[in-house]
Structure 1
Amino acid sequence: MATLRKEQRFPATRRRPPADGFDRRLIAPMVLGSVLNPVNSSMIAVALVPIGAALGAPPAQTAWLVSGLYLATAVGQPVIGRLVDMYGPRRLYLIGTALVGAAGLLGALAPSLGALVAARVLLGFGTSAAYPAAMHLTRSEAERTGHDSPAGVLTALAIGSQTVAVVGPTLGGVLIGLGGWRTVFLVNVPLSLACLVLGARRLPPGPAARRTGKSVDLPGMALFAALLVALMLFLMEPGAGLWYLPALAAFAGAAFAVRELRVPEPFIDLRVLGGNIPLLATFVRQLLAYTTAYGVLYGYTQWLEEGRGLHAATAGLVLLPLSLSALVVSGVTGRREAVRGKLVAGALVQAAGCTGLLLADARSALWLLVALGVVMGVPQGLNGLANQTALYRQADPARMGSAAGLLRTFMYLGAMAASAADAAYFPHGAHTGGLHHLALFMLACSALLLVTTFLDRSLRTTTPTPVPGKA
């Protein structure tokens, strides 16, 4: 029977994976698909100004090109992740990457800003499939082989995303120089085709859609989407005049909880999730870590240009070592899990970097600004990888896709919280006083990250999760 099941999963037309080791043919589609979201998140940064000039749209309107993708991704990652858990990663991966290509064409041909925003929203949903699929595949390979998947696989996912985040603005600038801002959208077509070819050839087929005996909790997904959209819209531009948004979020959250506790196959099993305190703590740490990370990305960058008076190109060069240090740290430490040690070190270095920002002013030397960037890159290389590894160990294997999607959702909630903090501390421009207040806010987040790490005793014994058939 076991042989028959393997033959059904891997037809004769597909090369059989090694019986006792991770199928490394999966790595290319996993990594390539997972970088679609960060590359589209970062490329758009250099395209906002030319898009605004071409379509006569002010910055307040072009900002929706960023927010639209964030909103769609925050909602789409856990929703599509749950579908990955139910129907297997292959079909969701192929559908998602096909949507990326369609969104690229829509953006390349878009006649208006509204159509561009629609393309970005479609990109957000399309790019939401690959990361949950990759995490699901990593776990399913461990179950197939009876051996824990190599730590380098999770590291490759993290480094791949960080790398394209670094080169995204540069790639976007090159594409705009070659063919105008529409090429930033059009580049998704060949990327989509590459993912479709690799996915079709290398990803194992999943179970038949309705043979799982599970049903899709559409009302639960809709309430979850309403909760997130209302919350994130408020975080994007908090104010007393938008009081109805947090009220709507609270109502949707209450209705979502009631719904999920009553249905037999919930979108998010709140009973199981509520009993998994270590996983909930990982989500909180993800929120805290990325609130600071995006606070630096948005706030420090803005201050370099307005408060320190650097040209945009010079500011970009000053920040480049931040990304490079994150990549180096991830690559050096990725082979060892050491989740608790990475989080403690990340929180301490992050706190040191925030303290260093209190010393920066309009007369600070460039070497100091570069050094601060290098320091702030270290926790970015530690915290994200540690939280990803912790989730892999803590999540229910049957819900790995949705758990991975929720991890990305909390990352984007951190981005929105950071954006709200920037708006609060830079109401009339990115001046030094506002930077210092922002640094104190990020220092508080770092302290909370350290406390939640120390209080979580489960991190002391984080070990490879047992897999079926392993002695």
Structure 2
Amino acid sequence: MNVRSRWLLISVGLGVLLNPLNSSMIAVALARLQNAYHLDFTGVSWIIFSFYIASSVAQPVMGKASDLFGRKKIFLTGLVVAFVASLLAPLSPNFGWLIVFRIVQAIGTSMMVAVGMAIVRIHITERQVTALSVMSIFLSGAAAIGPFIGGVLIHWWDWPAIFFVNIPFVAASFLLAWRTIPKDEPPTYIARNMSFRKWFDLIDASGILLFTVGLVALLASLLSAKSSWHVSAQHVIVGLIGLVLLAAFVRYELKATSPFIPLRTFAKYPAMTRVNVEFMLVNVLFYSLFFGLPSYLQMVRHVSEFHTGILMLSLGLCSLLVSPIAGRWIDKSGPRPALLASGILMTFGSVWLVTLNQTSPVISVCLALAAFGISNGLNNVGMQAALFKSSPKEIIGVASGLFNTSRYLGTILSSLLIGIVMGDEFSGGGLQVLGIIFTVIALSLVFMSRRRQESGRLAES
């Protein structure tokens, strides 16, 4: 790999890490934001919902936009959008404005993720597999160390620091990307002849609108009812509107020529559908722990943000260290044994959470975190391998997009789960309830893995 390719890799890597970094740093900031804006967890959880809903919509849209306007333009524009959002978010006069800037930040960082891998794949032709592996390290490494970085920043400079820290990354990435990413002009005939109607059809604007409004309405109804402990007519009406819009979304997507989420693919390939359902459940469990445990440690156990970040580092590091080992194991034995081991580890970690109480040593939390971290490393590689195995080669691009959608849906549902269980404030009893729910999910994943293993043996015989 020549010097220019290395600098190109660094410039793109510094940009794409911003999305996972900002989605993970917020985990240790939730308790501080609750105090700063006088919110319960149900209210503050919208800072998680907004980021993931915006990311799930923006990434496929910006991927299509890059084909029309050029990948370099989309990448640089994303950096500018992320810079503005990171600069203005700490100055928000209220929580509503903070949510707005958080959405803008999600859109900006998603623009870079949407085109980053494509830029590397197109412009780095030598040792391409190594280059793509480095990009994966930028993505997974940022997510792993995000809570630690967030804990350190909040400990010394309070919560606005988790937004300001983006600025040097954005500046470095912009300067390097401006010089190293080759200019890629989009086809002029497409750009000139593309009307707004054709553009809306291409990105499936109607589907996106139905999905976003329906999901937000349903979440708002459920969380508002839980927060007030009273189901009013307004909650029911808003919830029904959300369900109707989501049903309309499903019907629309089944007929759309360029669907935002190609639901027909799920119906056509049931084995791939099962993998996506499992992956969604894995993310519900993992991110419920990822976002819930830091708030529990800070609000119930009164652990500082700094020490919370150090404890959460065991989760990310175990996941990072296990991933390459999992890759070699899965190459040799296939994904089934690794996914079964992952389910068993998640079950152990979930049962361990149920046994924790306020007198348990804080360091004992590391046992549960280590179990979930190792299982996450196995899942990240194993689920991807299971997806490739269950998906026909001709739709592998669509399958990868659906896989990411499953991740985002799992993350959104995890925040909903925490909000419903914890409600106004965190408690030791709430953590034990979460542990019981985690155990049920983990055991269901063990059952699915065993069933896949038995199906695989029958197919081989």
- State the TM-score bracket (shorter-chain normalisation): 0.7 to 0.9
Deviations 1:377-397 (A, max 9, x none): 111222123334555676688
Query: Contact 1:103 / 1:120 at 8 angstroms: preserved in 2?
Result: yes
Please, which of 294, 300, 310 is the counterpart of residue 287 of structure 2? 294
Corresponding residue for residue 330 of structure 1? 323
Corresponding residue for residue 202 of structure 1? 181
What is the CA distance between 1:114 and its match in structure 2? 3.5
Corresponding residue for residue 40 of structure 1? 22
Matched, 1:364 2:360: yes
Letter in 1 for 2:58: G
What is the CA–CA distance in structure 1 between the aligned matches of 2:70 and 2:391, rounded to whole Å? Answer: 17
Match of 1:251, SS state, is helix
Matched, 1:346 2:342: yes
Q: Which runs of 5+ in 1 are unaligned?
A: 1-14, 18-22, 462-471
Please, which of 247, 256, 273 is the counterpart of residue 249 of structure 2? 256
Deviations 1:295-342 (A, max 9, x none): 222344444455556555544443332222112112433455543333
Deviations 1:243-279 (A, max 9, x none): 3444333322332333334343333433334323343
Deviations 1:180-219 (A, max 9, x none): 6544323333322333344442367374275399752322
| Identical-pair percentage | 28
Larger CA deviation: 441-450 vs 283-292: 441-450
Q: Which runs of 5+ in 2 are unaligned?
A: none
What is the CA–CA distance in structure 1 between the aligned matches of 2:119 and 2:211, rounded to whole Å? Answer: 25
Q: 1:319 to 1:103 in 2, by over 3 A?
A: closer
Larger CA deviation: 429-438 vs 275-284: 429-438
Corresponding residue for residue 102 of structure 2? 120
Deviations 1:150-176 (A, max 9, x none): 3x6665445433432343344345555
What is the CA–CA distance in structure 2 between the aligned matches of 1:104 and 1:293, rounded to whole Å? Answer: 27
What is the CA distance between 1:120 and its match in structure 2? 0.8
Please, what TM-score do these two structures have when normalized by structure 1?
0.75
What is the CA–CA distance in structure 1 between the aligned matches of 2:100 and 2:406, rounded to whole Å? Answer: 23
Matched, 1:70 2:66: no
Corresponding residue for residue 139 of structure 2? 161
What is the CA distance between 1:442 and its match in structure 2? 1.0
Q: 1:262 to 1:297 in 2, by over 3 A?
A: closer
What is the CA–CA distance in structure 1 between the aligned matches of 2:286 and 2:452, rounded to whole Å? Answer: 22
Query: Contact 1:132 / 1:401 at 8 angstroms: preserved in 2?
Result: no
What is the CA–CA distance in structure 2 between the aligned matches of 1:235 and 1:133, rounded to whole Å? Answer: 35
CA RMSD, Structure 1 to Structure 2 (Å): 4.1
Query: Contact 1:77 / 1:406 at 8 angstroms: preserved in 2?
Result: no
Q: 1:276 to 1:245 in 2, by over 3 A?
A: farther
The 5 Å alignment of 1:185-200 reads 185-200=163-178
Query: Contact 2:223 / 2:416 at 8 angstroms: preserved in 1?
Result: yes
Corresponding residue for residue 83 of structure 2? 101
What is the CA–CA distance in structure 1 between the aligned matches of 2:351 and 2:34, rounded to whole Å? Answer: 37
Match of 1:129, SS state, is helix
Corresponding residue for residue 37 of structure 2? 57
Query: Contact 2:218 / 2:240 at 8 angstroms: preserved in 1?
Result: no
Please, what TM-score do these two structures have when normalized by structure 2?
0.77
Larger CA deviation: 427-436 vs 280-289: 427-436
Equivalent residue pairs, number: 436
Query: Contact 1:85 / 1:401 at 8 angstroms: preserved in 2?
Result: no
Larger CA deviation: 117-126 vs 333-342: 333-342
Corresponding residue for residue 445 of structure 1? 441
Match of 2:184, SS state, is coil
What is the CA distance between 1:34 and its match in structure 2? 2.7
Letter in 1 for 2:433: H
What is the CA distance between 1:403 and its match in structure 2? 5.2
Q: 1:196 to 1:89 in 2, by over 3 A?
A: same
Letter in 1 for 2:339: L
Please, which of 404, 407, 419 is the counterpart of residue 403 of structure 2? 407
Deviations 1:101-126 (A, max 9, x none): 22123225544443332211100111
Matched, 1:229 2:216: yes
What is the CA–CA distance in structure 2 between the aligned matches of 1:440 and 1:50, rounded to whole Å? Answer: 27
Letter in 2 for 1:161: L
What is the CA–CA distance in structure 2 between the aligned matches of 1:319 and 1:443, rounded to whole Å? Answer: 20
What is the CA–CA distance in structure 2 between the aligned matches of 1:16 and 1:312, rounded to whole Å? Answer: 40
Matched, 1:184 2:138: no
Query: Contact 1:78 / 1:406 at 8 angstroms: preserved in 2?
Result: no
